[in-house]
Amino acid sequence: MMAGVYLHIPFCKQACSYCNFHFSTSLRLKDALLNALHDEIARRAGELNGQTVRSVYFGGGTPSLLTSAEINAIWTRLARHLTIEADAEVTLEANPDDLTADTLDQLGDTPVNRLSIGIQSFHASDLGFMNRAHNATQARGVLDLIRTSGWDRVTVDLIYGSPTLSHDAWQANLDLIAAYDIPHLSAYQLTVEPRTALAARVRQGKQPMMPDEDVIHQFRMLMAWSTDHGYEHYEISNLARPGHRAIHNSNYWNRTEYLGLGPSAHSLTGRTRQWNIASNPRYIKMMSDGLAIDASETLSDTDIFNETVMTRLRLSDGLELTELAALDASFATHFVQAIEPFVERGLVVQTGSHFTLTRDGRCLADHIASECFVTD
């Protein structure tokens, strides 16, 4: 069995307008929090029951604010308590303004072998709207730096559906990814998350959002671009050159077990999902007292069925009916009946016991999945 590890590094230079992840713009508690993280690794490693770790993901927040020495110290603690595969995928999320020739050299002296760069857009209007810490020059410059640095395992994040993003600008963003031959792209639709600056502006009527038909058009542009440039659109928001699919993200979609460490981090082990307290001071205090777990839940067969339908239909590999039948034969029967109208409308392709979304279906992926859920 293989497993994953996620480490939440909850520090950022500034707050992006759309982000509702847990973070702090103050580094005052950084040393204490990293010490608490070391303790959590030691105390919770056993939850993976000796499984070999195939992927390690430094997320956040902005883990590129860590020094190479801090990354190596975390790795030493992980390696002491977990069995990590020799060629494990080790990803570090990074912002363009944190990456220089020197920092890339220093990262080369750590176990990190894959960079996830949060560019989001190459256009100043979008970056200003999102309140990103980097500018358009840095967004383009980091790709020049990567090209000459020798890093060949790289993914870039882009956002579409922003009210400041024209169709031409979105096409230009995508074409830059292809021009630099970036091997993996994560393209996310802008969503209005609660308790964000963007949500407040929308609620106050100060910020109109892009019309749904324009958002769908930009998603269709993404699908066409992937075909034209040889990228596998292997998950709704993820595209890769052959051989460059993200191992860690694929763990989530395939319901592989993973251990989440750090404040607000979630874990899935067996049928249990649990999550840590989303507060840096309380995380540090709770770890000093024992553990920082805020809550947990035991997943029912219905929960697992609904999660499987949601995640598998997002994948180009699709959903295999036998996996649902393994939970309970009635689930497979329910799914076939629920999905049939979408097959008839040409939104889903059925090949024997296998189901995949068409391009039109991908535009309605969440709706199709929710219509197939079992509700108690």
Q: Which residues contact 278 (CB under 8 A, 6 or more apart)?
A: 22, 263, 264, 294
Over residues 43-56, mean pLDDT: 96
Residue-level pLDDT at 71:
98
CB atoms within 10 A of CB 229: 16
Decide if pLDDT at 76 tops 70: yes
Residues of 173-198 as b/e, b for ≥16 C-beta within 10 angstroms? bbebbeebebbbbbbebbeeeeebeb
**Residue whose structure tokens are 């689930």:** 331
Residue-level pLDDT at 2:
84
Helices 68-81, 30-44: axis angle to 10 degrees equals 20
Q: Which residues contact 11 (CB under 8 A, 6 or more apart)?
A: 23, 24, 25, 26, 27, 30, 60, 61, 62, 65
- For 15-64, what is the HEC assignment? CCCCCCCCCECCCCCHHHHHHHHHHHHHHHHHHHCCCEEEEEEEEECCHH
- The type of residue at 71 is I
Over residues 153-169, mean pLDDT: 98
Residue-level pLDDT at 1:
64
pLDDT in tens, 243-296: 999 999 999 999 999 999 999 999 999 999 999 999 999 999 999 999 999 999
14 exposed, middle or buried (CB, 10 Å; 0-12, 13-18, 19+)? exposed
Residue-level pLDDT at 22:
95
Looking at the chain, the whole-number percentage of residues with pLDDT higher than 70 is: 100
pLDDT in tens, 302-326: 999 999 999 999 999 999 999 999 9
Over residues 332-345, mean pLDDT: 98
- Whether the CA torsion 241, 149, 77, 38 is positive or negative: it is negative
pLDDT in tens, 34-47: 999 999 999 999 99
The closest of 90, 180, 173, 190 to 131, measured between CA atoms, is: 190
pLDDT in tens, 95-149: 999 999 999 999 999 999 999 999 999 999 999 999 999 999 999 999 999 999 9
Per-chain mean pLDDT for the chain: 96
pLDDT in tens, 206-222: 999 999 999 999 999 99
The 3-state DSSP composition of the chain as helix, strand, coil percent (nearest 5) reads: 45, 25, 30
- How far apart are the C-alpha atoms of 254 and 115, rounded to whole Å? 22
